[in-house]
Amino acid sequence: MKTDVKIGLALGGGGARGLAHLLVLEVFDELGIQPKAISGASIGALIGALYASGIKARDIRDYVDSHMKIKKEDHLWRLEGRNLMQMVKLLDLDFSGTGLIKGEHFSHFLYEILEAEDFSDLKIPLSVAATDFWDSSEVVFEEGPVLPAVKASMSVPGVFTPVTYQGRVLVDGACVNPVPWDLLRGCDVVIGVNVLGRLQPSNSLKPPKAAKVVLDTFEVMQRTILSQRLRCNPPDLFLDPPITGVGIFDFHKAKIVYRQSEGIVQELREFLEKMV
């Protein structure tokens, strides 16, 4: 199934909740439709880069699932021992004070599967959003090496060490543009995918731990930015799966993300089928 309509696809930030992007991309693959262009911030930049390099969505999903195998015991989901050690190595802890995670091991992880080194090698044009820490501005990458752009876009403040690149100190692109559909140019139809999910209130009146407050407040600000952008210049289709109970590092909860995102799969399929 083909369409001459030029579709732009924007993939937003949200950590492990970004695995929902894979379900969106699987619909494109199933219908035989290729986006004209892709833009991404944070986890959306990573998955967008992998897909734009020519890897099918199902292959990306299988790779993630194979590295994050889980088993259920006594009603609790646990990472298997081997996969837990892989996650620990991937985290690459940083004790220098600039972030909790260096990200160098993460770079090697990306190199294992990324099928393009430069933006010019990509099969689908890609725009990656990052944030200049010092002047609070958006930095958009569309040329040059892919890896530093993706690393910068995923550098959650206080968690990943900021990326110093091209004379700038760069952090997570979702700080300024959580779902960067405005970066998609020359497209007839624009689709935005928000994976920030929903905050899940605690039954207790006790305040959450400091780390959770910091990360969740960061996401509160992203939701506020996103709300304003939706009022001013919304995409043609905005997909917003109601993901709850999944933190940014809960990649072992992939099945939960997939299940909670089933609604947007059908919504997207019906939307695309009307254009072909």
CA distances to 43, 152, 215, 216, 217 from 210, in Å: 23, 24, 9, 10, 10
| Cα-only R_g, the chain | 18
Q: What are phi and psi of 70, to 5 degrees?
A: -130, 160
C-alpha atoms less than 13 angstroms from C-alpha of 198 in its C-beta half-sphere: 10
Q: DSSP per residue over 144-164, as a string?
A: SBHHHHHHHHT--TTTBPPEE
Q: SS3 for 99? A: coil
Please, which residues have CB within 8 angstroms of residue 22's CB and are 6 or more apart in sequence? 47, 57, 58, 60, 61, 64
Active site residues: 42, 172
Chain center to CA of 208: 25
Tokens of 263: 């609604």
